[in-house]
Amino acid sequence: MTDKRWIIKSMDIHGFKPFADPKHIEFSRRMNMVVGAHKTGKTAFLQAIRWASLDRKAEKKSQNLIFRGSETLPASNLVEVSLTLADDSNTEIALKRITRKNPDNTVSDELFINGISASVDEVKNLIQNKSFCLIDGCSKEDFDSLTGDKRKQYIISTMEESIIQQAEKFISITKDECGISTIPVVISRWNDERNGNIA
């Protein structure tokens, strides 16, 4: 499996930080942008993908990721993120990570590949290599070594000018019409084309 190149086809998220209710997100093979007002879950959206894929920089105490409740919604006792990955031949793999808060206030962590319980090593062997990456043209290990503005600069440097212009136009329209500050979260998609593979 490690010689295949995976794209993130869809994601299901439940109980992860602000996402109290289950949500299903489908990704296109071109540009996908996550926009919204301040503190509406844009960063959490990306963090959920990184957490489910065992990204070492996304690792935190899992109980801190569970939805803590709000004025209108009760707290959750689990966090669950599922990623559907597809390779160039459209073979799909379902990767799921679940953390449950137990009655004694401890937590239990579970991993699944295609619905079958999996170990940390099995998941890492599947995705943590140069065939699965959030940014096209940069290995997962190399991208992890970048922080803050360096990540932003790398993302922009890999984008075609036409795509940057589309993003800027969309952000400008959204800001003008909705009166909110918007930020795109860029996640690369793997396929044979180098440019324009942004989710």
Give the chain as a 3 state SS string: CCCCCCEEEEEEEECECCECCCEEEECCCCCCCCCCCCCCCHHHHHHHHHHHCCCCCCCCCHHHCECCCCCCCCCCCEEEEEEEEECCCCCEEEEEEEEEECCCCCEEEEEEECCEECCHHHHHHHHCCCCCCCCCCCCHHHHHCCCHHHHHHHHHHCCCHHHHHHHHHHHHHHHHHHCCCCCCCCCECCCCCCCCCEC
pLDDT tens digits for the chain (199 residues)? 445 667 788 899 988 877 778 889 888 766 666 766 677 777 777 788 888 888 665 555 555 676 666 666 666 777 889 999 887 777 888 999 988 877 777 778 899 999 999 998 898 887 755 445 444 445 555 555 656 566 555 555 555 566 556 666 655 544 444 444 444 444 333 333 333 333 3
Full-model pTM: 0.65
